[in-house]
Structure 1
Amino acid sequence: MTNSVQEQQQQATLAPTVKDKFCEIVGAEHCLIGSAGAAFYTDVYRQLEVPDAVVQPTTVEQLQQLVAFTNEQDIPVTIRGGGASYTDGYLPPVKGVVILDLSLLNKIVEINEMDGYVTVEAGVTWATLKEALDKRNLRTPFWGPFSGLKATVGGSVSQNTISHGSGLYGISAQSVQSVDIVLADGSLLQTGSAGTGASPFMRHFGPDLTGLFTGDCGALGIKARITLPLIGRRSAHRVISFAFADFNAMHESMRRISLERLEDTHFALDGALSQGQIARQDSAGQMMKIALSILTSSPSYAAGFKQLLKSAFSARKAISSSPYMTHYIVEGTHDAEVKSRLHRIRELTADLGSEIPATVPAIVRGMPFAPFFNALGPAGERWVPLHGIIPHSNVANFHQELEQFYTLRSADMQRLGIWYGGMFATVSSSGFLYEIALYWPDEITAYHQEVVPQDYLDNLPKHPANLEAREYIHQLKEDIIALYVKHNATNFQLGKAYPYASRVSSETLNLIKNIKQFTDPKNALSPGNLGL
C-alpha cells in the first residue's frame, strides 16, 4: 500500500470530530495521520495494521485527557516509547487503533540528592538521564540497555530489560521505586510511598504495586512518570574479556561469575555477531570515535593508549578466531578494589577460557549507547532478535537442540541469505539470557529510515523486497519461541510475540485478568499484549 493510499484510508477512517479533539488536546503538529506518522507504524521487526493516528502528548495532563477521551469513544490505544521494540508491543493488532507516542513526555522532573531518587517522565531516554546525572557524579543502579539513545525509561520499565548495571543490580524492574500510572479512565495511580501523598522515596509500603506495573507491556496501565533510586558513580573501572573454544565452557564461566556478582555490566557474543560488529567499524570516522571512546573512558591516558595498541595489533585477530567471547566492565570505589575483582574473575575462568584484549568492553564503556546501527545487519540486512531466559540446568540441552534446529534448516537458510548470531548474559545468579539475532536480505522500512544514522545508511547495500525470506524468518521465529518454551524459558519484552496467558496457571491468569478488569475494563489499553 502506498503512502498516499494509506493517508486516504486514514482520513476516511478517523472521524473528523475525533481528529479535531486530538488536535485540541496536543496541537495539530502532534497528531500524525497517514504518511506523516509512517515511521511510527513499524517496530524493529515488522508492521501490523496501520493505526488511525499517532498522537504525541507533551504533558502528563495531555496524556490523561487523551486516554479519558479514547476510552469514552471506545478507541483502543497502544503505547510507544522509543520504538526500539521487536515484539509487536505497540503495533496495532486490528484496525481502528490509535498509537500514543510518549517520546515527547521527556522531562526530568526531579533529581533529589538528599532523598536519593530521580523522577522522570516516561519518554526520557536513558542517554538523556545519564547525561544529567553524570554532571552530579550520580547514576541509577540499572542505567539502561545498549539501545539507550532511543530506548526510554518508560519503555524499559514496561518491557523489562537488562544491560548496564545488571551485573550488580539486576534488571530494569529492580531499579524502579515508584510509577505514576494513567488508568484507562484517565485517572492517575501512584505506587509506593507516593500513593500516600508523600514523595516517591520508598518502593515498599504494603503490597508491591510498583512491581505489578513492571513488565506488563502497557496492558495494565500507561506509565507517565517513573522514579528510580540514585547511587554514587564509582570512580574506578577496568575491563576484561575472555575467549572460549565452545559454548558450554563460556556458559559455565558466566554462571560462576554471576554467583559472586563481581562486575557492573557484562555481555557475551558468538563469533558471527562479533565479526559482524567489526564490519560496522571499518570507516575512518568510526575508528576515530572508537579510539576516542577508549581514551576518554580508560582509568588513565596511559591505560587508554595501551588498550589502543592491543586493539590495533591483536583484538581483531582474537575476535576473528574465537567462537565465543565474554566481556566484563568492573567498577569499584578505587582501583585496588577493581583489580581484586578482576583477579577473582580470572580465577573463575582460568580452567575454561583464555584472556584476550578487552577492546570490545572498552568501546562499550566509552560509548555505552551507540548509534542505532544494529537495526540493520552489517550488509544492510533486516534484523530481528528473540530471546529466552533459561534456568542454568537447561542451557546446555537448549543450545544442543538449537544447533540441531539450524542444521536441519541450513539449506533453506543459505538459499534465502539468512544468517544468525548469538548474544548472551546472566540474569541474576539463576538465569541465562540466550538471545538470537536473525538477519535476512529485504527492503528497509520507514522505521529504519528514521532511526539509522543517514550517513551510515547511505553506505549500506540496498536489497529489494524479499517476501519469501520474510515469511521464512517469521516461521523460524515462531519455531524458536516454541523451543524456548520447551526448555522452560521466560521472556522480557513480551508484547504479542511471546506466549504468556497460555503458559501461566489458571490461578495466575485469573488474577491478572481481574486486575486488568479494574484498571482497563474495556480492554482498550495495548490490546493483545500478554495474550489478553
Structure 2
Amino acid sequence: MTSSNKQTDLIEKLESLLGEQGLVTGAENLQYYANDVYRSGGQPLAVAKPISTEQVQDAVRLCADAGVAMVPRGGGASYTDGYLYPDGGHVLFDLGALDDIRIDAANLLVTVGAGASWAKLKEALDAQKLRTPFWGPFSGLAATVGGSMSQNTVSHGSAAHGVSAHSALSMDVVLANGELISTSAAGSTRNYGPDLTGLFTGDCGAFGLKTAITLPLIRTLDHCEPLSFAFDDFSSYHAAVRIAQAERLDDSHFGLDLALSQGQIGRQEGFAARLKIAAEVMRKAPRKLQGLAQLMRMAVAGEDPMRSGAYMCHFIVEGFDPADAAAKARRLRHLLAGVGREIANSIPTFVRAMPFAPLTNILGPGGERWVPVHGILNHDTVVAFNTAFHALVKDQQSEMDRLGVWLGTMFSPAGSAGFLYEIALYWPDHRSDYHRQTLGEEHLATIPDFLENAEAREYANELKEAIIALFQNFGAAHFQIGRAYPYLTRLDPRALSLVRSVKQELDPKGLMNPGALGL
C-alpha cells in the first residue's frame, strides 16, 4: 500500500472510531492547527478529538499501525514548537474533551482529565474551599492541566509550592502502542518507590499522551494582603526576591520591568477592565468594607504603580485570618524595607481578582507579534546574566530600532531555589491563523495590524536564538522545552543514555511527538 493510500485508510479508520465530530480534516480546517503562538509548522494529516481514554488508546493503535507520528496539543498557547511537527503529515491529538474532574475531599485528592483547563479546575474546587498547591499559569483560561504537566510552568502558588510538576502525584499515560499505564502504585503519593511520575513531567509528550492527573488538595485561604515594591536597579530587585524566596511568606509573586508594566500590563487598565476588576475585588473580599477600602486605594493609585521604578515586584500574601495575613505582610515589609520601596498594590490586587486573564497578550500592546524566551537561573548567576543580557541588547539596539523590534522582561520564582528570567520579544508582523481564531475579529479590530514582515521576523528569531545561547552560557534550565531549547546536550553521557533508553522502551518506532526534547 502506498503512503497516500495508508493515510487515506488511517483517516477512514479514525473517522469510524471517533465520528465526524471527533476528527478534523481538510487543508483549510487544519491550517489553524499548523500554528502556535510564535510561528507555523507542518500541517497535520488530521486532528483527533477523542472523548475517552479508551478512544485515545484505540486512536493511538491505529496511528502506530500506520506508522504515522502522533503529537499532543493542550490549550494551544505553546511558543516553543511543542506541538509543531516540521515534517507535517502527523495526527494531532486534541484531548480537550477529557476534562472530567473527580474531587475526593475525604482524601484531599483530585483527579483531573488532561484536557481540563486550570480555570475549570479552580471553579470546581472553589465550591469546596479547596485548591491544588500550584493552581495554574496566568494563561489558565486556555492552558490545560495535562499540557502544563507536559511542559512545566509557573505562576499561581509557585512561590510557596513550586512549579506545576511539583503538584503532580500520579498520571495515566497512553504509550505509543496504545497501552495505558499509571505512574504511581498509590494515588496519595508519588514516592512509593522510584518516582515514575516525575519521568513524565516536562516530557513534552515525547513519552506518551497524558489522559488524567491526580493532584493533592489544600484548603484555600480567603484572607489576602497584596503588596508591591519598586526598585531602581536590577541588583536591588534580585536581592529582594532572594530574601522573599527564602522566607516563603507569599503564595505567589512576579516581577516586571518598566517596559512590560507600561505595555502589556498597562493595556489591561481600560475602563471596562477596571469595572470588571472592581466587581471581582468586591466579590472575593471576605469583608465588603475591606473590599471597598481596597478599591479606594486602587483608585487613588491610578496608573502610578506601573511607573514607580525600573523594576517592580508584586506579592500575594495569604493568611488563615486577617491577622495571619497581616503578620506575614508586616514581616515581608520589614525584610524588604532597606532594599526597595513599597508602592500602591493595584497590580497584585488585579491578579488576585482575575488570576486567569484573556489571551490578549499573545499579541503586543500595539498589535505586534510576540514570543517569550526564558531561563531558570541559580541565584548566584542572576545578576551576571542580567548584565550580559543588557550588553547583548545594547549591541543590537540600532538594528532593533531599525526593524521596530522591542523587548521587556518579567520574573518569577520557581520554588525557593530557581529564578525565572523571561524576556518578551515584539516585532511588527502580520497575524497568523492562530491569532485570528484565538482572539476573534472583534478584539483584533481594536489594535493595529501589520503587513508581512519577513525581515523583522527573521531578525527576531535570530535574537531569540542568541538569547537562548546566552542562557546556556550561564547554565540555565528551561521549561516548555519543545523543540526550541537544548536538552540532550546538557546531559552527562550516562544520563543521556538513560533518556534514550526510556524513549526506545516506550516508543520504539519514534512516533510520539518526534523531535520534542531533541529525541
Structure 2 length normalisation: TM-score?
0.97
Structural mapping, 1:355-394, within 5 Å:
355-394=342-381
Task: Assess if the C-alpha contact under 8 Å between 2:413 and 2:420 holds in 1.
Answer: yes
Task: Assess if the C-alpha contact under 8 Å between 2:31 and 2:433 holds in 1.
Answer: yes
Task: Give the letter for the 2:474 counterpart.
Answer: H
Task: Give the letter for the 2:369 counterpart.
Answer: R
| Cα-to-partner distance string for 1:90-129 (whole Å, 9 max, x where unaligned) | 1112132221111222222x21111111111110000000
Over 3 Å counting, the alpha-carbon distance change for 1:278 and 1:229 in structure 2 is closer
The alpha-carbon deviation at position 454 of structure 1 amounts to: 4.5
The alpha-carbon deviation at position 318 of structure 1 amounts to: 3.1
Distance 1:174 1:260 in 2: 19
2:403 aligned partner: 416
SS at match of 1:325: strand
Task: Assess if the C-alpha contact under 8 Å between 1:297 and 1:362 holds in 2.
Answer: no
1:522 aligned partner: 509
SS at match of 1:15: helix
Q: Pick from 334, 337, 358 the counterpart of residue 350 of structure 1.
A: 337
Please say if 1:54 is aligned against 2:54. no
| Cα-to-partner distance string for 1:116-154 (whole Å, 9 max, x where unaligned) | 111111100000000001111111111100100000000
Task: Give the letter for the 1:78 counterpart.
Answer: V
Q: Pick from 24, 37, 41 the counterpart of residue 44 of structure 1.
A: 37
The alpha-carbon deviation at position 203 of structure 1 amounts to: 1.8
The alpha-carbon deviation at position 193 of structure 1 amounts to: 2.4
Distance 2:287 2:143 in 1: 30
| Cα-to-partner distance string for 1:285-339 (whole Å, 9 max, x where unaligned) | 2221122223223343333233323322324123124211000111121111111
1:187 aligned partner: 179
1:5 aligned partner: none
Structural mapping, 1:253-272, within 5 Å:
253-272=240-259
2:477 aligned partner: 490
Please say if 1:339 is aligned against 2:326. yes
Task: Assess if the C-alpha contact under 8 Å between 1:193 and 1:204 holds in 2.
Answer: no
The alpha-carbon deviation at position 234 of structure 1 amounts to: 1.2
Distance 1:20 1:345 in 2: 61
Please say if 1:243 is aligned against 2:243. no
2:460 aligned partner: 473
Q: Pick from 124, 131, 137 the counterpart of residue 139 of structure 1.
A: 131
Distance 2:445 2:294 in 1: 31
Over 3 Å counting, the alpha-carbon distance change for 1:405 and 1:14 in structure 2 is farther
Please say if 1:27 is aligned against 2:19. yes
Over 3 Å counting, the alpha-carbon distance change for 1:372 and 1:209 in structure 2 is same
Please say if 1:403 is aligned against 2:390. yes
2:93 aligned partner: 100
Please say if 1:228 is aligned against 2:221. no
Number of matched residues?
516
Structural mapping, 1:295-306, within 5 Å:
295-306=282-293
Tell me how large the CA RMSD over aligned residues is: 1.5
Structure 1 length normalisation: TM-score?
0.94
Over 3 Å counting, the alpha-carbon distance change for 1:151 and 1:193 in structure 2 is same
1:508 aligned partner: 495
Task: Assess if the C-alpha contact under 8 Å between 1:127 and 1:369 holds in 2.
Answer: yes
Structural mapping, 1:426-445, within 5 Å:
426-445=413-432
2:446 aligned partner: 459
SS at match of 1:25: helix
Please say if 1:15 is aligned against 2:2. no
1:122 aligned partner: 114
Q: Which stretch of the first structure deviates more once superposed, 156-165 or 285-294?
A: 285-294
Task: Assess if the C-alpha contact under 8 Å between 1:263 and 1:330 holds in 2.
Answer: yes
1:6 aligned partner: none
Q: Give unmatched runs, 5+ long, in structure 2.
A: none
SS at match of 1:485: helix
SS at match of 2:298: helix
The alpha-carbon deviation at position 84 of structure 1 amounts to: 1.1
Matched residues, percent identical? Answer: 47
Distance 2:207 2:214 in 1: 18
Task: Give the letter for the 1:258 counterpart.
Answer: Q
Task: Give the letter for the 2:245 counterpart.
Answer: S
SS at match of 2:107: coil
Distance 2:47 2:285 in 1: 43
The alpha-carbon deviation at position 265 of structure 1 amounts to: 1.0
Task: Give the letter for the 1:63 counterpart.
Answer: V
SS at match of 2:490: coil
Distance 1:424 1:282 in 2: 21
Task: Assess if the C-alpha contact under 8 Å between 1:238 and 1:299 holds in 2.
Answer: no
Please say if 1:203 is aligned against 2:190. yes
Please say if 1:84 is aligned against 2:71. no
The alpha-carbon deviation at position 278 of structure 1 amounts to: 4.8
Distance 2:185 2:483 in 1: 32
Distance 2:269 2:255 in 1: 22
Task: Give the letter for the 1:396 counterpart.
Answer: V
Over 3 Å counting, the alpha-carbon distance change for 1:372 and 1:14 in structure 2 is farther
1:286 aligned partner: 273
Distance 2:486 2:167 in 1: 25
Distance 2:83 2:305 in 1: 40
| Cα-to-partner distance string for 1:170-223 (whole Å, 9 max, x where unaligned) | 1111100110010110000101125xxxxx232221111011111111111111
| Cα-to-partner distance string for 1:408-455 (whole Å, 9 max, x where unaligned) | 111111111111111101222222100010011111111112222543
Distance 1:513 1:12 in 2: 31
1:4 aligned partner: none
SS at match of 2:125: helix
Distance 2:430 2:408 in 1: 21
Over 3 Å counting, the alpha-carbon distance change for 1:88 and 1:14 in structure 2 is farther
SS at match of 1:227: strand
Runs of 4+ in structure 1 off by over 4 angstroms are: 11-14
1:165 aligned partner: 157
Distance 1:522 1:320 in 2: 54
Distance 1:235 1:126 in 2: 19
Distance 2:267 2:226 in 1: 22
| Cα-to-partner distance string for 1:273-292 (whole Å, 9 max, x where unaligned) | 01013542353322211222
Q: Pick from 291, 299, 303 the counterpart of residue 312 of structure 1.
A: 299
Task: Assess if the C-alpha contact under 8 Å between 1:14 and 1:52 holds in 2.
Answer: no
Please say if 1:63 is aligned against 2:56. yes
Q: Which stretch of the first structure deviates more once superposed, 13-22 or 233-242?
A: 13-22
Over 3 Å counting, the alpha-carbon distance change for 1:48 and 1:282 in structure 2 is same
Distance 1:282 1:328 in 2: 19
Q: Pick from 127, 149, 153 the counterpart of residue 145 of structure 2.
A: 153
Task: Give the letter for the 2:58 counterpart.
Answer: Q
SS at match of 1:192: coil
